[in-house]
C-alpha cells in the first residue's frame, strides 16, 4: 500500500512522507512507542555484535538511531546507512556528528532495491522498521542477500501484530485510533500516521516473511517476538560457498 494513494509510485510517496515528517520523527517515534523502540534496537545490536562485524549496512536508516547504536557498541565496525529521504538523513547526520561518530558512520541517499555496493560487500545488513516500506519486498530482500558476504547475516526489526486476542484488540485500538490523532497533530501529516498501522496490517505474517527470506536465498531464518508480538526481530544467514 501507499501513504497518500496518488499516481506516484510507493517509493516516491514514501520518500515524500519521510521528508515531510523528518523534523518531528524522533520525538514522535520515541513518544508513541513509550521509548520501547530503544530497547528493541538494543536487542538488534546485541545480536549483531556476536559476529564481530567490521562492515555493516543499515538500510532505511532514517534518522540513524540504529546505525549510531551499532557504531557506538561495536567500535571496530564501520556503518553505512542509506535511506530514500534526504531530510531524514540530514537529521541523522546531525546526530552522528554530536556523537563523534562521523568517521565510522557514513550516511548516503540510496535505494534498497538498487544498492550501490558490490556482491558480498558487507558482513551484516540491518533494517529497522523499513522493510514494509520497500517498493518491492522481494527485490529488496534479494539485494540484501547479494551485498552480504557468504556466512554473513541479515537482522531485521519490524512491527508485527500480537497473537493474543485481547492484547491484539488493545494494540489495534491504539495504533488505528490513538496514534494517527497524536502523530497527525504533531507532524501535521495525519496520513503518514494512518499509513503506519495500515502497513503493519498488510505486512506478511512471520511465517510468510521467513518464506520470503528463504526465497531470496537466506538460510537459518528465525523470528523473535518482542513485547508480546508488537514487533519482531528476524535473523537469517547467507550460506557459505
149 assigned to some structural domain: yes
Confidence tier at 49 by pLDDT (50, 70, 90): very high
108 assigned to some structural domain: yes
State residue 138's pLDDT score. Answer: 97
Confidence tier at 95 by pLDDT (50, 70, 90): very high
3-state SS of the chain?
Answer: CCCCCCCCCHHHHHHHHHHHHHHHHHHHHHHHCCCHHHHHHHHHHHHHHCCCCCEEEEECCCCCHHHHHHHHHCCCCEEEEEECCHHHHHHHHHHHHHCCCCCCEEEEECECCECCCCCCCEEEEEEECCHHHCCCHHHHHHHHHHHEEEEEEEEEEEECCCCCHHHHHHHHHHHHHHHHHHHHHHHCCHHHHHHHHHHHHHCCCHHHHHHHHHHHCCEEEEEEEEHHHCEEEEEEECCCC
Domain count for the chain: 1
State residue 32's pLDDT score. Answer: 81
pTM of the shown model = 0.96
Residue 84: domain span: 10-162+204-237
Average pLDDT, the chain: 96
124 assigned to some structural domain: yes
State residue 31's pLDDT score. Answer: 82
Task: Give the rounded percent of residues in the chain with a pLDDT score beyond 70.
Answer: 100
State residue 132's pLDDT score. Answer: 96
- Indicate whether 41 pLDDT > 90: yes
Span 76-99, mean pLDDT?
Answer: 97
48 assigned to some structural domain: yes
- CATH number of domain containing 211: 3.40.50.150
- Indicate whether 241 pLDDT > 90: no
119 assigned to some structural domain: yes
Q: Which of 27-31, 136-140, 179-183 has the highest mean pLDDT?
A: 136-140
74 assigned to some structural domain: yes
- Indicate whether 29 pLDDT > 90: no
State residue 6's pLDDT score. Answer: 93
31 assigned to some structural domain: yes
Helix (H), strand (E) at residue 223: strand 219-226
- Indicate left, alpha or beta for 24 from its phi (over 0: left) and psi (-120 to 50: alpha): alpha
- Indicate whether 160 pLDDT > 90: yes
64 assigned to some structural domain: yes
Q: Give pLDDT tens digits for 61-75.
A: 999 999 999 999 999
Amino acid at each position: 500500500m501507499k501513504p497518500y494513494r496518488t499516481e506516484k509510485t510507493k517509493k516516491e510517496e514514501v520518500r515524500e512522507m519521510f521528508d515531510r515528517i523528518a523534523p518531528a520523527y524522533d520525538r514522535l517515534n520515541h513518544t508513541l512507542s513509550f521509548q520501547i523502540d530503544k530497547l528493541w534496537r538494543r536487542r538488534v545490536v546485541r545480536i549483531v555484535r556476536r559476529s564481530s562485524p567490521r562492515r555493516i549496512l543499515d538500510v532505511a536508516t532514517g534518522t540513524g538511531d540504529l546505525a549510531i547504536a551499532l557504531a557506538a557498541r561495536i567500535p571496530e565496525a564501520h556503518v553505512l546507512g542509506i535511506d530514500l529521504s534526504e531530510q531524514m538523513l540530514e537529521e541523522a547526520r546531525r546526530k552522528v556528528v554530536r556523537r563523534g561518530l562521523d568517521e565510522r558512520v557514513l550516511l548516503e541517499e540510496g535505494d534498497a532495491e538498487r544498492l550501490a555496493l558490490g556482491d558480498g560487500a558487507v558482513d551484516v545488513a540491518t533494517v529497522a522498521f523499513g522493510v514494509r516500506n520497500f517498493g518491492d519486498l522481494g527485490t529488496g530482500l534479494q539485494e540484501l542477500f547479494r551485498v552480504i558476504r557468504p556466512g554473513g547475516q541479515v537482522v531485521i526489526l519490524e512491527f508485527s501484530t500480537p497473537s493474543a486476542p485481547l492484547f491484539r484488540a488493545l494494540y489495534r485500538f491504539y495504533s488505528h485510533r490513538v496514534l494517527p490523532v497524536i502523530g497527525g497533530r504533531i507532524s501535521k501529516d495525519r496520513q503518514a500516521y494512518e499509513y503506519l498501522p495500515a502497513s503493519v496490517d498488510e505486512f506478511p505474517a512471520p511465517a510468510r516473511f521467513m518464506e520470503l527470506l528463504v526465497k531470496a536465498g537466506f538460510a537459518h531464518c528465525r523470528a523473535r517476538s518482542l513485547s508480546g508480538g508488537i514487533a519482531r526481530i528476524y535473523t537469517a544467514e547467507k550460506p557459505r560457498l
